[in-house]
Structure 1
Amino acid sequence: MRLIRGLTNLKRIAGQSDSPLSKGCVATIGNFDGVHLGHKTIIDQVKEKARELNLPSVVMIFEPQPQEFFKGAEAPPRLMPFRQKFEALLAEGVDVVLCIRFDETFRSYSGMGFIEDVLIQGLAVHHLVVGDDFRFGCDRAGDFGLLEAVGRERQFTVENTRTVTVDAERVSSTRVRRALNVNSLEEAERLLGHPYRLHGRVVYGRQLGRQIGAPTANILLHQMPALKGVYVVRARLDSGQWLDGVANIGLRPTVDGKRPALEVHLFDFAGTLYGQHLNVVFRHGLRDEVKFDSVDELRQQIARDIEQARAWLAENPVTPEI
């Protein structure tokens, strides 16, 4: 699969004779945050049509996500960072991911400008799969009807996305966030098709965990997470090894954390993890994130968290991989 970043690169690649888009494509557009069961159905729709037309499948996503551009800190929390989303799309068998920078210039595109510059000149789209409520262009002036009308003139077709429901309600990123917000990991798993997880690179922290007897692998998060609190987790190292542990995700109020982070204490592990990418699976919620009056109180609570996590794991064994 190929990643194309930005309109400039799209136009450059589109002009190359060996471009993966030289004969056109079948595409869909969206945030694809979480790559849940609904997203996977849309991707299957795109891949089916791409095979029929013998063309590559393309998923167009945005960085930042549009609501992050418009709402800033008030935007809904992300379900996964960009790299994890790209890897999830790769796993679904998408041929090309086009990542468009959502900025003032892009948001100023007219509906017709977006169709002409991006869909026709950039992607040479033959078939587009989007929801019938899809809106685009400045002030969201473009809609499904405009795409259909232009498509009839410019020889591309438009298809509505298939809806996926669980318990008679549509699967959506908003619904996954809602489940995570109330700590319903089981419902989130049913909507995603797998346990909720986060990937990230381990960075140097303040070494506080090591000082209080519970060293942690620290992963900084660029956006506020959908989960907050302390959880029993299972993590995969770069080596492929899976280890159980306990993790805190949030702002670390006891140490006046300014940026959200995921801190993972792995049981019975004594090596170093700096620079590695951890795949952290959230298995069970233990408690909310709390601000303690002292580091010593925090140390005592972490010891209790570890004890509770080990007890839960003893009653809920898993296969080596999740």
Structure 2
Amino acid sequence: MHIHLGLSQPLTNFCALTIGNFDGVHLGHQMMIEQVVTQARARHLDSVVMTFEPHPKDFFAPQFSQPRLTSLREKIELIEAVNVDHVVILRFNHDLANTSAEEFVNRILNQQLHTRYLLVGDDFRFGAKRQGDFAYLATRSKESGFICESMNSHKVGQERVSSSAIREALQHGLLDTARKLLGRPFFISGRVAFGKQLGRTIGYPTANIPLGRRIPPLQGIFAVTVEGLNKESLKGVASLGTRPSVESNHEPWLEVHLFNFNETIYGQRIHVNFYHKIRDEAEFTTLDALIKQIDSDAEQAKAYFTSHTL
């Protein structure tokens, strides 16, 4: 898969395209991308997914920024898994925000991407002041020589699949609901960094992943599995949050204790799947109280995996 940071050069082949933020690459997103790949193959076109960084909502109102379900890297990896030919990442800035719907079609869809098939969601809006919609695209597509289709929102049961619904489920600890809407467990990937070594001194060594400026959509203690270290996934218990018993700078960290595992893995990139919330974060004033709680957390995580088939 080819990754394009911007469109400094036009694509060389005609394409089948879908456009969106694709935060989480949930079941609805997957269906859209799969349809674009299918249409591209049937029409002998390249398949292209266009997305934006940062999220337009973060650009217009950063003070109300919502937690993202996937980092940009995670989003790209999930899109790649659907066998897309190209991902185009447009930087959402003042220039793009002020691009009219007409210019977006003329310059980006026609001149730079050579679009011949376009699939968008039923609520898709684009262009300065969100002036463009599916009706506008349908009209312009006839003039520009591409086919334009829309896809209705996907539902699981009676629930509409959306990034907001998944975010809300995660914030309320409803990991089963989030998993159904995503089509997989919610996960966070990152590189293992050196920590304060406190876990090792109390019998619970942890793989520590600093999240930097990323705000996770959930916090607490969880039963998790980890991929990327062995051929099979490893089970464990994880703390995700600001570590109130250890730190005071409020920066989020993901700390994972793996059961029956004691290898040195600093610098390795791991993929942590969240299956069950055990409790919220809490601050402990004594080390003994912390150890007692971690003992209980680990036992609850093991009990979850014993009673549930993954």
TM-score interval for Structure 1 and Structure 2 normalised by the shorter chain: over 0.9
**Alignment-derived partner of residue 214 in structure 2:** 223
Q: Which amino acid aligns with 2:289?
A: E
SS in 1 for 2:132: coil
> Partner amino acid for 1:209?
G
How far is the alpha carbon of 1:295 from its aligned partner?
4.8
CA apart distance, 1:313: 2.8
1:39 maps to: 29
CA contact (8 A) 1:224 1:250 kept: no
Q: Which residue of structure 2 aligns with residue 258 of structure 1?
A: 250
Mapping of 1:31-110 within 5 angstroms?
31-110=21-100
List per-residue Cα deviations over 1:32-69 (Å, max 9, x = no partner). Answer: 11111111111122122212211011111111111222
How many angstroms does 1:289 deviate by? 1.3
Q: SS of the counterpart of 1:278?
A: strand
The one-letter amino acid of 1:158's match is: C
Aligned pairs, how many?
A: 308
SS of 2:61 mapped into structure 1: helix
Give structure 2 stretches of 5+ with no counterpart: none
TM-superposed CA distance for 1:204, in Å, is 2.0
Q: Provide the secondary structure at the position in 1 that maps to 2:265.
A: coil
Deviations 1:217-263 (A, max 9, x none): 11122421112110011111344342111001122223224322211
Q: Report the RMSD for the aligned CA atoms in angstroms.
A: 1.8
Contact 1:42–1:162 (CA<8 Å) still a contact in 2?
no
Give the distance between the partners of 2:116 and 2:53, measured in 1 at CA: 25
Distance in 2 (CA, whole Å) between partners of 1:108 and 1:261 is 37
Matched, 1:232 2:223: yes
Shift in alpha-carbon separation, 1:315–1:62, aligned structure 2, 3 A: same
Counterpart of 1:203? Answer: 193
Query: Which residue of the partner structure matches residue 275 of structure 2?
Result: 283
**For residues 196 and 182 of structure 1, what CA distance do their matches in structure 2 show?**
14
Contact kept? 1:41, 1:162, Cα under 8 Å: no
**Aligned position for 1:171:** 161
Cα distance in 2 for partners of 1:107, 1:177 equals: 25
Is contact 2:193-2:208 (8 Å) kept?
Answer: yes
Partner of 1:6: 6
TM-score, normalising length: structure 2: 0.92
User: Structure 1 residues 100, 295: closer, same or farther in 2, change over 3 A?
Assistant: farther
**1:305 matched residue in structure 2:** 297
When residues 307 and 239 of structure 1 are mapped into structure 2, their CA distance, relative to the original with a 3 A threshold, is closer
Percentage of identical aligned residues: 44
Whole-Å separation in 2 of the counterparts to 1:315 and 1:239: 23
- Relative to the length of structure 1, the TM-score reads 0.89
Contact map agreement 1:60 1:97 (CA 8 A) in 2: yes
Query: Aligned equivalents of 2:229 and 2:80: distance in 1?
Result: 18
> Separation in 2 of the partners of 1:60 and 1:74?
24
C-alpha separation in 2, matches of 1:311 and 1:49: 46
Out of 154, 158, 163, the residue aligned to residue 144 of structure 2 is: 154
Q: Which runs of 4+ in 1 moved over 6 A?
A: none
Paired letter, 1:229: G
Contact 2:54 2:91 in 1 (8 A): yes
TM-aligned CA distance change 1:256 to 1:296, over 3 Å: farther
Residue type at the aligned position of 2:244: P
**Gap runs ≥5 in structure 1:** 15-20
State the distance in 2 between where 1:59 and 1:73 align: 28
What per-residue deviation string (whole Å, max 9, x for no partner) do you get for residues 155-185 of structure 1?
A: 1221111331112222111111122122111
